[in-house]
Structure 1
């Protein structure tokens, strides 16, 4: 039955006596009806497409007025006349809305949003030191200092974290870099390099592609804004070896004292050595397995004095240079103790990397072939180092490495007694 729908007729319409759904069809707009069930009453549209019946719910009668329901039914009828299924059209329209909302949310992503994703994704491929660099430059600051008074400063990258990723361009980066380079040039240089790598990563990720501009951190911008980077020359001189060893050996923490000495005597990178495990120490064949960033892993000689230092360390866990307070379980930051030792020794400006540099420089006193030193330290093969790069056997490396160690100890005034079968190693300060 078709009737002219009115408010009274809609309100008074009820389902059948048996509780089954009933329809009250509108005489004004074809296909429009009120469907009543035991629980709901709603406007619906019914038509046929491709010879098959279709029914679309317009909405509850409490929400939709009659005129609005008629207008919607006419739209649905128009679509059906065009051979368009309103259900599919609605589904497509909702998908477009969701996609637009998703794109809007993506476009609103800040540097902080992407930065946390970046660290999480790249951490498995980074060394501990590199990961900490990323965390350090993005720290919010404002925490009580562990040493001294006051609170910590925000990381150098912090001003950019709240900026939308899409707004990071060369102008924004230039303004940030100019300000930070005045106060913290070294940290600004590091942050600029890390930011550039981050933007390139974002450009490769579907979630952030099209938002990040890798060219925002151009080499030209760095040259124009950052102060010229000087060549680092911090290095222990032969005459400084006695006072340096004396000050370092007086450090109360035996793990740090051994670590610093071995850092000098192996020329290893600080992160390579701090993550050395007991399983990497081969006393039978006299070698250390060092995980490096060039070859992935290299074997270097376990020289007598280094073996003596390692043997004296406590075996708390799997790490040779263990730390009961560090979350990682191994030594992370020995700079404070080294700085105090340098002050006692009267040596200024010697970094931990300077100890690695010192190994290469001091080796020249023993006239060691440059290729030997390069292989021990894990440098990339270079034609400028020697005409033909050769991978030398461990025995040959050990012959030269032991000679380097003996010379350094001699200059430091340390009389070291080589091991005798069945006895422990012993070192005596002259």
Structure 2
């Protein structure tokens, strides 16, 4: 069929019974391919290095004649440049597919980032860190940390992705607490936030830290830019007269209630008799930790950066043995078997209860305020006055025991030294109760706890 200029009427009239081509006069490489009443398509035919190249451009229903001519010219230019249009088309499709996949990957990454932002917030980091403390057995630290975060981190900052939290945001939180007159609370908040960020920062490299801290993607600690707030050292100690009054309230001396100390009072009393022990550690003591025959009480000191709690054995003096024995009998009478300070069967007394009772006594005394930390400081001060060495006091109160020597070489248990110190301390308390300046072994410590 001779070449003719392609027009819409000619294309419409082109209905060959078998496959045929209607070639364009304006663009010789362009033709319409048709067979009967079937679909008609624009095609391009050319030659490259003696090889015939045929490329389908598209249906005549969707392509205009001029657009088909322009596409055919493009294919011809590619051939003139030594390129196979089919290879060019394939490369374009591959590039388009790669671009599509890249766009899909970017969209997925964006969705993942949005999910991370919504999931791995500062609030979630705080929760994960306190959960890690709990799993490590540091329940009191976990409770204190959780309380600080809950009280002092506002909702907007808490919902910020942890990795995007800035030093300015955290400094504003600390400043707000400090300006409210809560300097110690501000210092504690800064310390807890720093510990949480440091844990998440080290988690990818430290197998001892929980893996659930890794997804927070913390690479730096924003708290580092915030200066630490020095905690004012306490210097409050009770005078012998104040200590005598404090003991009188614990033992309910002169009160109408003749049943003797309640459970919180027993905890405060044992803390004193045992040489100023930490209340939280006493409350975690179990009946099985008490060896009545040997007169020892085993505590577990998890304070500080210890990964596992340190065994802390107290060789109790006689009055403390009597008190712990009565506590063990009391637990058994309640039908419990576990906690020495059982409020009911195997339910342990809350950590806060003795502290609240001490605060009540302090208010009733009407003196300069004091807390359990001040009681502990008073005990150590009076132990020093009795001539108890610093090393023995450290072992007795379970503090300051660190360093290479203590951790790896000094395996002496100091049982005899601690026993002698506690006997001397009980005698000193007897003297305090009687208003004497020197210890005595004669007077018993009030009514025996029931």
For Structure 1 versus Structure 2, the TM-score category normalised by the shorter chain is 0.5 to 0.7
2:269 counterpart residue number: 261
Equivalent residue in structure 2 for 1:110, among 99, 117, 121 = 121
Find out whether 1:296 has 2:342 as its counterpart. Answer: no
Equivalent residue in structure 2 for 1:276, among 285, 297, 302 = 285
Structure 1 gaps of 5+ residues are 1-24, 31-65, 68-76, 140-154, 420-424
2:77 counterpart residue number: none
Q: Summarize the Cα distance change of 1:102–1:345 in structure 2 as closer, same or farther, 3 Å threshold.
A: same
2:186 counterpart residue number: 188
Counterpart of 1:305 in 2: which secondary structure?
A: helix
Name the CA distance, whole Å, in 2 between partners of 1:392 and 1:256: 30
TM-score (norm 2): 0.63
Name the CA distance, whole Å, in 2 between partners of 1:362 and 1:90: 78
Q: Summarize the Cα distance change of 1:167–1:93 in structure 2 as closer, same or farther, 3 Å threshold.
A: closer
Name the CA distance, whole Å, in 1 between partners of 2:191 and 2:107: 39
Residue 222 of structure 1: how far off its partner (Å):
2.8
| RMSD after superposition | 4.0
1:349 counterpart residue number: 369
Name the CA distance, whole Å, in 2 between partners of 1:232 and 1:376: 20
Residue 89 of structure 1: how far off its partner (Å):
9.2
Q: How does 1:326-365 map to 2 (within 5 A)?
A: 329-333=348-352, 334-365=354-385
1:172 counterpart residue number: 169
Find out whether 1:217 has 2:235 as its counterpart. Answer: no
Counterpart of 2:350 in 1: which secondary structure?
A: coil
Find out whether 1:248 has 2:268 as its counterpart. Answer: no
1:57 counterpart residue number: none
CA contact (8 A) 1:417 1:427 kept: no
CA contact (8 A) 2:292 2:325 kept: no
Counterpart of 2:215 in 1: which secondary structure?
A: coil
Name the CA distance, whole Å, in 2 between partners of 1:182 and 1:197: 23
Equivalent residue in structure 2 for 1:163, among 160, 164, 168 = 160
TM-score (norm 1): 0.66
Alignment: residue pair count: 332
Name the CA distance, whole Å, in 1 between partners of 2:287 and 2:137: 22
Name the CA distance, whole Å, in 2 between partners of 1:239 and 1:253: 20
Counterpart of 1:379 in 2: which secondary structure?
A: coil
Name the CA distance, whole Å, in 2 between partners of 1:350 and 1:177: 26
Name the CA distance, whole Å, in 1 between partners of 2:168 and 2:289: 49
Residue 338 of structure 1: how far off its partner (Å):
1.0
Residue 355 of structure 1: how far off its partner (Å):
2.0
1:37 counterpart residue number: none
Name the CA distance, whole Å, in 1 between partners of 2:42 and 2:348: 77
Q: Summarize the Cα distance change of 1:167–1:91 in structure 2 as closer, same or farther, 3 Å threshold.
A: closer
Deviations 1:329-371 (A, max 9, x none): 3331122211111222333322112222222111123211221
Structure 2 gaps of 5+ residues are 1-37, 44-61, 64-86, 204-212
CA contact (8 A) 1:169 1:213 kept: no
Name the CA distance, whole Å, in 2 between partners of 1:307 and 1:331: 23
Equivalent residue in structure 1 for 2:296, among 287, 298, 313 = 287
CA contact (8 A) 1:321 1:331 kept: no
Deviations 1:281-340 (A, max 9, x none): 111111111101366112111221112222233204311112349x96333112221111
Q: Which structure: greater helix fraction? A: 2
Equivalent residue in structure 2 for 1:310, among 317, 324, 327 = 324
